[in-house]
Structure formats: structure tokens, C-alpha cells
Structure 1
Amino acid sequence: MTALLVASLALAVSVSPSRAVLPDEMLRDERLEARARALGQELRCVVCQNQSIDDSNAPLAHDLRVLLRDRLQAGDSDRQAVDFLVARYGNFVLLKPPLQWNTIPLWIGPLLALLSAIVVFGRYVRRASANAAAPETERTAPLSADELEAIEAILDRRSLS
């Protein structure tokens, strides 16, 4: 029973999201730290790309966490702190970038890829069904006289051996 409990605990710890915020990064003011944590979940680690800065162990993520906390301690609002990081790293630092003219490919790209896949799959299915519906004589050209003679010669040689 103890082994099952230990295995369950180990599984729960390995599946739960890890937080990379180090104790020396944490702010003494609990409200500022809570704000920093909430903002850190919205900001992308520009090295890891699909992790928030709070989830990443990358050195750059550490620097971003420290910079964010410095801005909050300096009295910046949440928006001002995020805008500072966006001005420095671009919209790429946001896990949910805003819809702007330069981020339209990010928003529409997956939809275009899906539509393209649907069109290609539709054409494939249409061709496959057209080939399956066509009689055998329409799908293959009849053999020429030379080809028939070559086949007969091969068959004659096989029957002799």
C-alpha cells in the first residue's frame, strides 16, 4: 500500500506543472508577487517559445522574471510592465499576441493550413472515387500487337521449361 501511495505521489508531482521561479526571485510583498506570477503566466519565454516565463528554467526567462518584478517594484501597473517587455521583445513575448496587421499570419495561418488540408483531402477522395467507379477497360490502355507477342513468347518459354 505504501508503494502505491509513493508511486501515486511521484506521478502527481511529475504531471503537475513545474514552476521555475526561484526563491531569490520572489518579492517580499505578497500582493506584488501574486501580480508578478499572474503576469508571468501571460508572458512567453522567448527561448523556449511555448512556455511561460514562470514555467521555464532558461536563463533568459529568469532575466525576464527579474525584470518584471523590478518594474512592479518600481511602481509600474500591470499594463505598463507588460508594455515595457513588449517594447523590448516585441509581441512575441506575449503568449496571446494581439490581433494586429503584423500578427495576422499568426492568427490566420492555422486556419489556412486547415483549409488547404481539407481541399487536398477532398481532391484525393474525389480522384480515388472516380478511379474506383471507372470500369477496368477505361483505366488501362489495351496492349499493342508487339506487347501481346512479347507476352506470348515469355509464356511459351515458361511452358517449355
Structure 2
Amino acid sequence: MGDYDTGSTGVGKLHISFAKREDLVTLSNVEMPQLGHKYQPVHRKKSESRKYADFKYQMDKQLKGRKRVNSNEFNDYLSVASKSLGTKVITLKSPFYKGHYVRERHLTIVTYFDENHRKYLENYKKFKAERDKHPNAHGKELSELRKRVSKQIGIDERTLGGLKYEYQWRAEHDNK
């Protein structure tokens, strides 16, 4: 009968000889009793940090110092970086890559909702400024005011008379 221990056939030594010497750690059997041999490959963080450094370089090159980026543009940048790094986009969207990069660079990724809300706030400021000039406008005067503001902003005047603009202004104005 043959002895199929890892040491007797030489298979264990064959696998160990393919590893680089700096990747191996010698442990006694007392420290790691579950291992039948003395060598265990070391988990290398060097390759991960090198990949992250390459990822960071690619993203910095594409963003060019911007601190605010649209989510669609950011996804395009991730796909370009994935092609140059040879990894998948889903890997780059992981917390290790994307999360770490966003926190490190203080980057704001704007979604569609955020962009629309920002536009609404800008438009509301313009509407509010005009409406504050004429707080007692009613009827035809208010209609003319809405027409004038709608031409400036590019929104239908009926929208300005609705909940988001006129009623919001009234709620703020009455609470003063």
C-alpha cells in the first residue's frame, strides 16, 4: 500500500517550490496545528494597494480635480478605469475602491433627483426674489408677475402658481 501523505509523494514540496520565498512564513506545528506542513502563504496587501493606487490615478486623471460629478459620468469614468486596469466595473463599485476614493477625495456624486432638486431650488430663489418685491400682488398683477418669472426661468406659469412655488412662498411669507 502506498503512503499518500503530502510529504511522502512530494506534492506538498512541489507546490511550495512555486511560491516566492518572501510570500512564505515558517510556523511551528504548535502555532498552527491544523496545518500538516510548516508553510502558509501570506495574504499580500501590496497588490491590493497597488491596484487601488492605479485606480486612484485613473480616476484623478479623468476627474481633473472636480469635487462634484454626475452619477452617469462617474459610471463612465469607472468603465474607462476598469478597461485600463483589467478589472470589472462591479469590482470598482465596491466599498474598497469607490467608497474609499469618494471619502478620500471628498467627492460628491450627484444623482438625477439631486440635480432636479438643485434646479428647483435655484428656480425657487428667483421666483421668491420677484414675489418678495410684490407681496400684495393679486389677480392680473400676479398673473403678469408669473409670466415674467416664467420667461426668466423657463417654466410654465401655471407651475409657478402651484404647490411648489406659490404655496411654498405663501407658507414662508405667512410665518414671518
TM-score by length of 1: 0.25
Q: Which has the higher strand share?
A: 2
TM-score by length of 2: 0.23
* Greater relative contact order, per chain length (Cα 8 Å cut-off, separation 6+): 1
